[in-house]
Structure 1
Amino acid sequence: MADVGRIAGVSAMTVSRALKGKSYIAKDTLERILAAVDQLGYVLDQSAGSLSSRRSGFIAAIVPSIDNSNFADTARGITDTLAQTSMQLLLGYTNYSVEREEELIESMLRRRPEGIILTGGKHTSKARAMLFNSGIPVIETWDVPENPVDAVVGFSNTDAMEALVDSLVAQGYSRFGFITGSEASDTRGHQRHIGFDRALSRHGLTSDRVVAIEAVPIRMSHGGEAIRALLERYPDTDVAICVSDLPAFGAIMECKRMGLVVPRDIAIAGFGDYEIASISEPGITTVNVDSYGIGAQAAGQMIAMLENRGTAATIRTSYHVLHRGST
């Protein structure tokens, strides 16, 4: 700031006030300061101010994967909503590991975020203790945990999967297969499996046609391997539900390679309404969970809590089944 001040012909304090926007600075003075900033490539160091004000100016968010377009949409919803404020987003990803999430929570809390947004409600005991003791707003998303840390913005994966199964039973399907991932790591996938079992039990149908892909994260290619394995074990399966749209797309491509017509020979459904679900041929029947809206609502709730306009609450987000050509 002293260097900027020398070039602009003002004091370092004036430079500080101008860059923080906390007091009136004459237009020509501000222009000289900004020109000097550009000339030097100077970036205001807010760390000292953060120590005195206890405001860091950022929100931390942790997602399972940055490869997954749904979680990318959630991060975008957070960022777009935070754009209404001066706060920025610090993003980390766990690769579906609660141990990695614990490490990220500890690392981020050391940087004193003003709030933290998490994906899901399953955490290590140490992570929960750190979150409880942090003294900042915590929002869990993409789930409705039984014992939330603080606020919640999410939906029941179990109920959403039940809605999908119910709609397919109504279409006349009765021999259901389920393609899932590593449910020990993906708790949301596990909850969807519970919804699959629960819905079929209500309809008096069996739910034992299951292929589990022990991979994290589950990808399109895994769907091809899984649909082939499912049909080898249960060749009369008339519909296969995949834990997400990615393996569903892979399953459809593998069916084409096997000479099977979807949905005539076997129907395929996914979950999540990824972009690929609408451009696939045939389009993939799925569940839209408004990934962007989850992020936007979580950020909105965070802003309200930071401004003391709202307390910890459970906000249930919407979902709906989308029927397309794959069923």
Structure 2
Amino acid sequence: MSSPTLADVASLADVSENTVSRVIRDKGYIAPATRKRVNEAIRKLGYVPNRAAGSLASSSSAIIGVILPSMSNIVFPEVLRGIHAGLAGTHYQPMIGVTDYDLKKEESLISSLLAWKPAAIITTGCEHTAAARRMLKNSTVRVGELMDIDHRPIDLAVGLSHLEAGRSAARHLIGRGYAKIGYVGHDWNADKRAHARYLGLVEGLRQAGLVLSEENRTNGPSSTLAGKAALAELLSRAKTIDAVVFSNDDMAVGGYMHCMAAEIAVPETLALFGFNGLEIGQTLPKPLSTILSNRFAIGKTAVELLLANSERNKKPQIVDTGFSILEGSTA
């Protein structure tokens, strides 16, 4: 049995094939009664539009390309939830790729997605290979770069300033009376935003006439196990620090676990401060002091702005979704 065709839908709905195509692509005005007849015919026949073929005949498809660095890190599924919320009620569908923090892999994904003529491509951060940047700049699709607004975007950037987040962490701890502050982090080669927060932290301390007392970074990605081990190593070298800033909440939760095991009183003996505002940090016996990034809002805001106008901004647009400090009980 052959699959139903566009012509079959048109015949059943008693309209032209062009009208069926316009209903499917949601292009131009269609009388409500006509739209209803077409949609009923589509459902009755079980017709599935050929999106690839449709994209060749039109300027773009109903695809929104979404490129994320990870799906195991809870931060990015929350961004994706926001994207899904922004797409609700539209005919657009996300096509998702994961880079594992590999810019060459991102380049390959961008090339593949552009071949489908998406309506927009959403990436994480503003850092790309030279080839990927050229592909994005030379294309006509909307481009949303999320999570980072410290760099000039190609089209649209939605997120927060990680430099300012680092400075805010420094000001918060200094305001609480801490002066001997250490840092525990993970690999900066894969996570440039963590590096930006570190630079902001150092700048914030310098503005107050202070420097980091000690620092320790792991070579791999962030994790609770890495944070636990890294804090233990840092404390073996620095006995007098009174607070530690972690690259993110995963690392900070691991640090908290080390303090529990080593019977280090938090925050009386050692204060701990994270980044992201993850639920796991807020479920600790003493809720983690941290910075909350508005991840859901980042995804939702970005996709709504991209779909509001099919034309690129003449001047790159930057939208700051901000952040807030969760005071918690660990600093």
The TM-score normalised by the length of structure 2 is 0.88
SS at structure 2 position matched to 1:11: helix
Count of aligned residue pairs for this structure pair: 320
SS in 1 for 2:108: helix
Deviations 1:229-256 (A, max 9, x none): 1100111111111110011011101111
Q: What one-letter code is carried by the residue in structure 2 that aligns with 1:192?
A: R
- Among residues 194, 198, 208, which one is paired with 1:193 in the alignment? 198
How far 1:312 sits from its partner (Å)? 3.8
Kindly provide the CA deviation profile for residues 81-117 of structure 1, in whole angstroms up to 9, marking residues without a partner as x: 1113211111222222222211211121122211111
The alpha-carbon deviation at position 47 of structure 1 amounts to 2.5
Contact 2:153 2:316 in 1 (8 A): no
Residue in structure 2 matched with residue 284 of structure 1 by the alignment: 288
User: CA contact under 8 A between 2:141 and 2:312: conserved in structure 1?
Assistant: no
Cross-structure match for 2:179: 174
Q: Evaluate the alpha carbon distance shift between residue 26 and residue 73 of structure 1 in structure 2; reply closer, same or farther with a 3 A threshold.
A: closer
Aligned to 1:235: 239
Residues 21-170 of structure 1: matches in 2 within 5 Å?
Answer: 24-25=33-34, 31=40, 34-37=43-46, 42-170=47-175
Question: How many angstroms does 1:309 deviate by?
Answer: 9.2
- Runs of at least 5 residues in structure 1 that lack an aligned partner in the other structure: none
Checking the alignment, whether the CA contact within 8 Å between 1:120 and 1:145 is kept in structure 2 is no
Contact 1:158 1:194 in 2 (8 A): yes
Deviation of 1:192 after TM superposition, in Å, equals 0.7
Residue aligning to 2:215: 210
CA contact (8 A) 1:305 1:311 kept: no
Between 1:271-280 and 1:16-25, the stretch displaced more is 16-25
**Kept after mapping to 2: 8 A contact 1:58/1:114:** yes
SS in structure 2 of the partner of residue 303 of structure 1: helix
- The 2-side partners of 1:276 and 1:26 are apart by 47
Judge which range, 91-100 or 243-252, deviates more.
91-100
- Distance in 2 (CA, whole Å) between partners of 1:47 and 1:67 is 30
Distance 1:27 1:185, change over 3 A: closer
Code of the aligned partner of 2:194: G
String of CA shifts for 1:13-60, please: whole Å, max 9, x gaps. Answer: 8596397386645978965763442xxxx5332322222122310111
Q: Which of residues 251, 258, 262 in structure 2 aligns to 1:258? A: 262
Residues 1:45 and 1:265: Cα distance change in structure 2 (over 3 Å): same
CA distance, structure 2, for counterparts of residue 26 and residue 196 of structure 1: 56
Percent identity over the alignment? 30
Task: After TM superposition, give the deviation of residue 308 of structure 1 in Å.
Answer: 7.6
Which residue identity does 2:293 align to in structure 1? Answer: V
**1: CA distance, partners of 2:256 / 2:35:** 64
Q: Which residue of 2 aligns with 1:11?
A: 11
